[in-house]
Amino acid sequence: MADYQVGLVDPGFNAAAGTQQNGGTNAQTGHWDADYNTVAAMRTRLAAISAGTYTAAYLNRMTVNDMVYAIRVNDSIATIAGK
């Protein structure tokens, strides 16, 4: 089970416009959303996305990276390169 959270860089950074999804002007500030603040917040968001899929047992097997990716696929697909 994931025990800690880290920030992530927003690959959707628009250098031409100088902005990114989080509204910042620096690509290194990353994509920040309250759903990513803690592992507990990510677990809550995933359960809200699909309680049938993201059961407690399933969430216990997920890493932080798994959780971040699953939330991004549902909420912020544009932040995933190639999507």
The answer to whether 47 and 54 have CB atoms below 8 angstroms apart is yes
Question: Taking 60 as the threshold, does the pLDDT of residue 70 lie above it?
Answer: yes
Q: Give alpha helix (H) positions in 1-83.
A: 39-49, 56-61, 64-75
For residue 61, is pLDDT > 60?
yes
| Mean pLDDT along residues 19-40 | 64
Q: Give the list of residues 6+ apart from residue 25 with CB closer than 8 angstroms, or none.
A: 18, 19
Name the residue ranges covered by the structural domains of the chain.
33-79
Assign 58 a pLDDT band (cuts: 50, 70, 90). Answer: very high
Helix (H, G, I), strand (E, B) or coil at 70: helix
Please state the rounded mean pLDDT for residues 42-50.
96
For the segment 66-71, the average pLDDT, to the nearest whole number, is: 91
- Spatial CB neighbours of 4, under 8 Å, sequence gap ≥ 6: 39, 64
pTM confidence score: 0.64
What pLDDT is recorded for position 77? 81
Gap between the terminal Cα atoms of the chain: 27
